[in-house]
């Protein structure tokens, strides 16, 4: 076992079986939150099985060892704790929160769920039906339709193209045997990070993890190599007629992965453009011109190249002028220098929101575990803040000219309105 003491408030230990344990001692409240990350998620699915990891997350807490779904729920709720499983593009997550006195019991239960889920067939079918309902309902939500359309055209055969839920065909094709195989392949100690924050010392937390997980053996077979298709940039337009009163106008640009030097400048440009009521898009297109019901930009943090998106919800008759307005504002990033004061405001906003996002034990356990599972390391917490602070106007213009040129376009709305917008 190796232990590293960092300058950060996080204690990092690697167990003999490869589990990384992160502990942030915070005695302020009598609560402990934990996040158990697994290097799994949608990027580790076969394309024909898109939605598999979502189904696994839904069924995983419905039976383990000798416990039924009801017995698991009673164990958690009888002590006022919470426990849930979730999946994303880049990782799988088991989360829980409990009072300090019950931490050992709930961590032991989480360990059972993580290591020996039973995937009861009746629960698999129930959760499949619920997922299919979600997939169908999303087809009636204009923003979701536009976003789905954008992901598919931008990422083609890359897993980022697919919804976490997959589609009706792939969700129907996943079997219980597929869940078992996926679990056996990726849920192993050398592929796990356990991040803990709350009223517990690092020594106590690590000793408990060793007691509960130390006997978990690393399989003899190596982890499969993640061999993803190359993302080919071919900007194009996609239109989806939908009977709705408003149009969703979405522009997409292929950005950088989190480990790229361009990540921080792009994150800052996304904040400047579309984060909040003082953002450029909100002020120019909604406040001054009254074009948008909603307008925003977002650029998620991803292990592989992430999409930089700007979008607007606007009245059908404003579709063309709204599209022109969005395109103009993005194009200005490359041709017109952002003022030092505007850049500093964006920095203050992103760093302020970042600090506010680390207030609870759950948030602390989440962010450090997330950085660890992405391969960035726990020191990225400090590095991210330094990277944002160091971005110059010149840096911002350079990444805008590099990434934000020819956009992908996704339009959803009344057929006449969206067709005339690109005529």
- Model confidence over 355-411: pLDDT tens digits? 999 999 999 999 999 999 999 999 999 999 999 999 999 999 999 999 999 999 999
Whether the CB-CB separation of 112 and 46 falls below 8 Å is answered with no
Q: Are residues 260 and 335 in the same domain?
A: yes
How far, in Å, CA of 423 to CA of 420, rounded? 5
230 part of a folded domain: no
Average pLDDT value for the chain: 94
Q: Are residues 129 and 169 in the same domain?
A: yes
As a whole number, mean pLDDT of residues 160-179 equals: 96
As a whole number, mean pLDDT of residues 234-241 equals: 92
As a whole number, mean pLDDT of residues 68-94 equals: 96
Q: Are residues 154 and 268 in the same domain?
A: no
Q: Which one of 213, 247, 262 terminates a domain?
A: 213
As a whole number, mean pLDDT of residues 96-119 equals: 97
As a whole number, mean pLDDT of residues 156-160 equals: 94
228 part of a folded domain: no
222 part of a folded domain: no
Q: Are residues 320 and 174 in the same domain?
A: no
Confidence of residue 8 (pLDDT cuts 50, 70, 90): low
220 part of a folded domain: no
Q: 138 lies in which domain range?
A: 2-213
Structure confidence by residue, pLDDT tens digits, 246-292: 999 999 999 999 999 999 999 999 999 999 888 999 998 998 998 88
- Whole-number pLDDT of residue 9: 84
- Whole-number pLDDT of residue 278: 87
223 part of a folded domain: no
Q: Are residues 202 and 250 in the same domain?
A: no
pLDDT higher than threshold 60 for residue 52: yes
Parallel, antiparallel, or unpaired: how do β-strands 408-413 and 237-241 relate? Answer: parallel
As a whole number, mean pLDDT of residues 39-45 equals: 95
Q: Are residues 132 and 7 in the same domain?
A: yes
Share of the chain above pLDDT 70, in %: 98
Q: Specify the CATH number for the domain of residue 87.
A: 3.30.830.10
218 part of a folded domain: no
How far, in Å, CA of 254 to CA of 301, rounded? 13
- CB atoms under 10 Å from CB of 162, counted, come to 23
As a whole number, mean pLDDT of residues 34-52 equals: 95
- Whole-number pLDDT of residue 6: 44
The pair of three-digit structure tokens given for residue 110, joined into one six-digit string: 């989480």
Confidence of residue 79 (pLDDT cuts 50, 70, 90): very high
pLDDT higher than threshold 60 for residue 3: no
Q: Are residues 341 and 404 in the same domain?
A: yes
pLDDT higher than threshold 50 for residue 338: yes
Confidence of residue 1 (pLDDT cuts 50, 70, 90): low
Q: Which one of 158, 179, 213 terminates a domain?
A: 213
DSSP 3-state of 94: strand
- Whole-number pLDDT of residue 287: 86
Q: Are residues 52 and 115 in the same domain?
A: yes
- Whole-number pLDDT of residue 276: 87
Q: Are residues 205 and 274 in the same domain?
A: no
Q: Are residues 285 and 194 in the same domain?
A: no
Query: What is the count of structural domains for the chain?
Result: 2
Q: How many helices (H) and strands (E) does the chain have?
A: 16, 14
229 part of a folded domain: no
Q: Are residues 247 and 189 in the same domain?
A: no
pLDDT higher than threshold 50 for residue 5: no
**Beta carbons within 8 Å of 162's beta carbon, 6+ residues apart:** 42, 47, 50, 51, 151, 170
pLDDT higher than threshold 80 for residue 37: yes
């Amino acid at each position: 076992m190796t232990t590293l003491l960092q300058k950060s408030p996080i204690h990092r230990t690697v167990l003999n079986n490869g589990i990384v344990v992160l502990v942030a001692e915070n005695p302020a409240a009598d609560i402990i939150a934990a996040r158990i990350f697994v290097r799994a998620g949608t990027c580790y699915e076969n394309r024909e099985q898109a939605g598999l990891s979502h189904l696994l997350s839904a069924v995983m807490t419905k039976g383990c060892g000798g416990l039924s779904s009801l017995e698991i729920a009673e164990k958690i709720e009888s002590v006022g704790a919470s426990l849930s499983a979730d999946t994303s593009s880049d990782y799988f997550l088991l989360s829980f929160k409990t009072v300090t006195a019950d931490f050992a019991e709930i961590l032991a239960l989480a360990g059972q769920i993580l290591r020996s889920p039973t995937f009861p067939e009746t629960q698999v079918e129930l959760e499949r039906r619920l997922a299919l309902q979600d997939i169908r309902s999303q087809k009636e939500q204009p923003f979701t339709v536009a976003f789905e359309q954008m992901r598919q055209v931008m990422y083609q055969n890359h897993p980022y193209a697919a919804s976490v839920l997959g589609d009706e065909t792939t969700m129907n094709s996943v079997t219980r045997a597929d869940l078992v195989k996926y679990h056996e392949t990726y849920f192993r100690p050398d592929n796990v990070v356990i991040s803990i924050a709350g009223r517990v010392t690092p020594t106590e937390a690590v000793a408990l993890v060793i007691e509960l997980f130390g006997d978990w053996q690393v399989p003899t077979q190596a982890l499969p190599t993640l061999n993803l298709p190359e993302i080919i940039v071919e900007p194009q337009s996609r239109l989806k007629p939908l009977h709705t009163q408003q149009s969703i106008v979405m522009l997409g640009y292929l950005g950088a992965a989190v480990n790229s030097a361009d990540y921080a400048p792009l994150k800052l440009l996304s904040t400047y453009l579309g984060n909040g009521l003082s953002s450029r898009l909100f002020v120019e297109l909604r406040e001054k011109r009254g074009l948008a019901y909603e307008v925003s930009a977002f650029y998620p943090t991803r292990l592989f190249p992430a999409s930089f998106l700007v979008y607007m919800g606007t009245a059908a008759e404003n579709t063309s002028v709204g599209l022109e307005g969005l395109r103009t504002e993005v194009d200005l990033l490359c041709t017109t220098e952002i003022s030092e004061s505007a850049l500093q405001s964006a920095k203050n906003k992103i760093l302020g929101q970042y600090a506010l996002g680390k207030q609870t034990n759950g948030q602390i356990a989440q962010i450090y575990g997330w950085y660890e599972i992405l391969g960035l390391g726990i020191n990225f917490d400090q590095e991210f803040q330094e990277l944002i602070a160091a971005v110059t106007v010149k840096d911002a213009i350079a990444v805008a000219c590099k990434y934000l040129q020819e956009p992908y376009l996704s339009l959803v709305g009344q057929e006449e309105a969206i067709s005339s917008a690109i005529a």
